[in-house]
Amino acid sequence: MRYLELDALRGMAALAVVLFHYTTRYYDFFPNSPVPTLQVNDLGYGVNLFFVISGFVISFSAASKNNAFAFLKGRILRLYPLYWAALIITFATMTIFPHPELTVNFATFIMNFSMLQKFAGFANVDGAYWTLAIEWVFYSTIIGLLLVKSFSKIHLFVGFMIVTNIALAASNLMLENPIILPLKLALVYNAMAYFACGVSFYLYKTKLSSHYILAAFVVLMANHLNAFDTVLLLDLALFALFWLFTTDNLRWLAIRPLVYLGNLSYALYLIHQNIGYVIINNLIDYVGPNMAIGLAIVTMMIVAHVLTEATNKLVGKFLNWKKATHKAKLNIASA
C-alpha cells in the first residue's frame, strides 16, 4: 500500500537536507564564499526522518513479500540503478571541477559501486552516500529474519534497541568510565534507533496496539536520557509527525507538489551535494549566494527528474524482458 503523505514527507526531508548542505555544509569546503541570508544548521536532521520512513515502509515491504530473496531483489532494483547513474555523473563532475576534499581517485570510485565502501575503508564519492551503507545494515536485519521465517518477531529488534539504548544512557549517568562506542559504530547504532521507531509505527499501524506507540516514543527518547538538546526537540516533533500519520491525520499533506518532490527524493538526495557545490561555487561571485543556491536547487531537481524517469524506464524494460524470457523458456519446456 502506498501512502502519499509519506511521499510528501520524503520530499520535505530531501529538501531539508539539500538546504542544509547548500546553506551550511557548503561553507566547510568553501569558507571564503559569501554567506546566504539564511543558514539552516538543523535541517540535516532530515536524514533521520528518512530512516523512520524507511523503517516503516521496509517493514510493510518485507511482510508483503515474506521471502528474503524477493525482498533483496526488490531493494537492489530500487536502489542500485539510480545510484550507479548518480555515482558516475558525480565522479565525472568532480573530475572536471576538482576539489581536494571532494574529488576521489579511480579506485575509490570503483569501490563506490558496491554502496558499502565505507565499511571497506574507502571514502564516499559524494558525502550524502553515508546513509546508504547504514540502510543496508537495517536491510540485513530484515533479510536475516526473513531467512529464518521469523519476520513476525521484528518487535524483538525494537526491544533490543530500547534495552541497549537505555543501558548505554545509564552507563553515561552511573559509571565512572561510561561505555563509548567508536564513531563509525555510533553512527550506525544511532540510526538503528530511528529505523526501530519506524518499525514500531508499522507495528502500531498493523496491530493497532498502543504499546507500539509507546515503544516508538521510548526508542527515540532513550537517546536523550542524559542530555537536553535541539535533537531532543526534533525527535519529539518527528514522533508527533509520525503519530499523526499513523492515525490518519496527515492526509492533508499529500498535495501534488510535495508528492512529486517525494518521487524525486531518492535521486535528488544522491545527486545534489557535490554537483550542487560546484554550481554554487561557479555562480556565487556573479549572482550572490541566495540566487546561486536557488539555481543549484532548480538544476538538481531537473537532473533528479530526468534520472528518475530514465532509470524507472530502464528497470521496467529489464523486468519486462526478463518476464518475456522466462515465459519463452516455459513454452519451450512444455512443447
Four-CA torsion 66, 71, 74, 76, nearest 10 degrees? 180
Would you state the cell numbers that stand for residue 35, as one nine-digit string? 554567506
CA angle 134, 233, 277 (to 5 degrees): 50
> Does residue 212 register a pLDDT over 80?
yes
Please report where in the chains the cell 543496508 appears, as a residue.
Answer: 136
Q: Tell me the C-alpha to C-alpha distance, in Å, between residue 138 and each of 80, 144, 198.
A: 16, 10, 11
Note the pLDDT of residue 183. 64
Q: How far apart are the C-alpha atoms of 309 and 311, rounded to whole Å?
A: 6
Total domain count, the chain: 1
Confidence grade of residue 48 (pLDDT, cut at 50, 70, 90): very high
Task: Report which of 247, 251, 254, 267 is spatially closest to residue 312, judged by C-alpha positions.
Answer: 267
Dist. CA 187–CA 189, nearest whole Å:
6
What's the start-to-end Cα distance of the chain, in Å?
39
Model pTM score: 0.91
In this prediction, residue 69 carries a pLDDT of: 94
pLDDT of 76 above 90: yes
Report the distance separating Cα 111 and Cα 127, nearest Å: 15
For cell 534507533, what's the residue? 193
Residue with cell 507495528: 203
Task: Give 232's pLDDT tier (boundaries 50, 70, 90).
Answer: confident
Please check the confidence at residue 214 and state whether its pLDDT lies above 90. Answer: no
pLDDT for the residue 53: 95
Environment class of 299 (CB within 10 Å of its CB; exposed 0-12, middle 13-18, buried 19+): middle
Give the residue numbers spanning the domain of 56: 4-334
284 confidence band (pLDDT: 50, 70, 90):
very high
Which residue reads 544512557 in cell numbers?
169
Enumerate residues 6+ apart whose C-beta is below 8 A from 268: 14, 15, 18, 261, 300, 301, 304
Count of alpha carbons within 13 angstroms of residue 125, beta-carbon side: 29
| CA distance readout (Å), 157 to 140, 150, 162, 219, 281 | 12, 12, 9, 11, 44
- 262: helix, coil or strand? helix
Residue where the block lists cell 549517568 = 173
Higher pLDDT: 211 or 327? It is: 211
pLDDT of 225 higher than 70: no
